[in-house]
Structure 1
Amino acid sequence: MSYKSLLSDRCDIYHLKEDHAEEARYGIPAPNLQPIRTYGETPDLQNVPCYFTEKNQSIVQQDPEQVIYHSYLAHFPADADVRLHDLAVWNGVSYTLQQPRNIKGHHLEVLAVRDEKL
């Protein structure tokens, strides 16, 4: 049985894009403004083979509602174009990917996290 056959899940990956402001805002010149970070409307990578395993889940009471913090350990093939702060959509839920770790050139492991108000 090959490793790729173990990657039974599929997800879409959106890369983080940076745009720079074209005009001054609030009296700050445009070159001095922080870049505007967004994700595209369409995924940069579709149907990427992966495998998600739940790592941690907690619910925290905040004012005025509860927030769920959920983290998964996601596995990807070594040649997958996965980057820091990418957005992965798996089973209709969006996760922000942390720094990918290349495991001996064999595969990538990435912590995928989400926080959502309940």
Structure 2
Amino acid sequence: MAIEDLFNHRCSIYHLREETTSPGWGLPGQTEYSYPDTPDLSGVPCHFNVGASTELAQESPFTTYLYTGKLNLPAGTDVRINDKIVNEASGLDFTAQEPQDIRGHHVTVTIQRKGSLNNTAL
């Protein structure tokens, strides 16, 4: 079986943008971070691994959850730390941790999704 057979999902990758704006008059600028409206890469073959961990933390007024999983991508895919990765099938978005090149064979990246659950909905 070839590595390409593993990539049964598709994802979009958005690179984090950094922009420094200054009000002028020699005042220091403020750095803002954002993602573009359109993905830098779309339709990227990938595999979202099933084995993942989740954590729930009871906080007021909401419960916070943290999902941590692994994503496999073809070798040479331009994925960076803090990129937004969107599963094209589900529409769920994740934040990339540091990508690891696995011997030029493929790229593995830990992905996280963090959010809040409304306690009244539980």
Q: TM-score, normalising length from structure 2? A: 0.87
How far is 1:29 from its partner? 1.9
Instruction: Find 2:63's aligned residue among 63, 66, 72.
Output: 66
Report the secondary structure of 1:5's partner residue.
helix
Residues 72-111 of structure 1 correspond to what in structure 2 (within 5 A)? 72-90=69-87, 91-111=90-110
Partner of 2:35: 39
CA RMSD, 1 decimal: 1.4
Report the secondary structure of 1:12's partner residue.
strand
Paired with 1:38 and 1:107, the residues of 2 have a C-alpha distance of 28
| 1:19 partner amino acid | E
| 1:30 partner amino acid | P
How far is 1:22 from its partner? 2.9
| 1:52 partner amino acid | F
Paired with 1:30 and 1:38, the residues of 2 have a C-alpha distance of 20
Paired with 1:71 and 1:49, the residues of 2 have a C-alpha distance of 20
Q: TM-score, normalising length from structure 1? A: 0.89
How far is 1:37 from its partner? 0.6
Report the secondary structure of 1:81's partner residue.
coil
Paired with 1:81 and 1:11, the residues of 2 have a C-alpha distance of 13
- Aligned pair count reads 113
Partner of 2:120: none
Runs of 5+ consecutive residues of structure 2 not aligned to the other structure: 118-122
Paired with 2:75 and 2:66, the residues of 1 have a C-alpha distance of 27
Paired with 1:106 and 1:4, the residues of 2 have a C-alpha distance of 10
Runs of 5+ consecutive residues of structure 1 not aligned to the other structure: none
Report the secondary structure of 1:99's partner residue.
coil
